[in-house]
């Protein structure tokens, strides 16, 4: 997505391919690259069933990185149908917390993209 005029201008001034990539392409595309990483993180946070099956779907606190467990989204998906009373309120609170975390990540992403775009 880097304009060809920028790259061709650098080549016409005698820059090598490596210099064009390092000094023109990467700085110009930096905000898009950062945005793609943040979008991927947001997608991973919101993904429910794939992560549920991958992580093991057990209701216990993991003791290590390779131990099974549950995510916030998978707890809501698995238990919402049979919940009532305090359990339903807890699941709604988990959903609200998940929304707040996602909103914070999006706000941080916008700040990072503004900083990166201004460099």
Domain boundaries of the chain, sorted by first residue: 30-118
pLDDT digits (tens, 9 = 90+) for 52-92: 777 777 888 888 888 888 888 888 888 888 888 998 999 99
Residue 59: partners with Cβ closer than 8 Å, 6 or more residues away: 70, 75
Q: Taking all residues of the chain, what is their mean pLDDT, rounded to a whole number?
A: 83
Half-sphere exposure for 2 (CA within 13 Å, toward CB): 18
Task: Kindly calculate the radius of gyration of the chain based on its CA atoms and give it in whole angstroms.
Answer: 22
d(CA 103, CA 30): 22
**For range 31-39, the mean pLDDT:** 82
Predicted TM-score (pTM) of the model is: 0.59
Q: Which residue has the higher pLDDT, 47 or 106?
A: 106
CB atoms < 10 A from the CB of 63, how many? 8
Picking from 44, 37, 51, 5, the residue whose alpha carbon sits closest to that of residue 24 is 5
- At 119, the pLDDT band (50, 70, 90 cuts) reads low
pLDDT digits (tens, 9 = 90+) for 6-17: 889 999 999 999
Structure tokens at 67: 């131990």
Supply the pLDDT for residue 86.
92
């Amino acid at each position: 997505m880097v304009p060809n005029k920028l790259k061709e201008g650098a080549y016409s001034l005698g820059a090598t391919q490596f210099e064009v990539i390092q000094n023109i392409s990467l700085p110009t595309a930096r905000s898009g690259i950062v945005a793609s990483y943040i979008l991927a993180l947001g997608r991973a946070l919101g993904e429910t069933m794939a992560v549920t099956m991958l992580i093991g779907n057990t209701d216990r606190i993991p003791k290590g990185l390779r131990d099974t467990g549950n995510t916030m989204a998978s707890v809501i998906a698995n238990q919402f149908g049979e919940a009532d009373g305090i359990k339903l309120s807890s699941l709604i609170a988990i959903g609200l917390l998940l929304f707040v975390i996602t909103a914070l990540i999006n706000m941080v992403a916008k700040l990072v993209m503004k900083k990166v775009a201004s460099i």
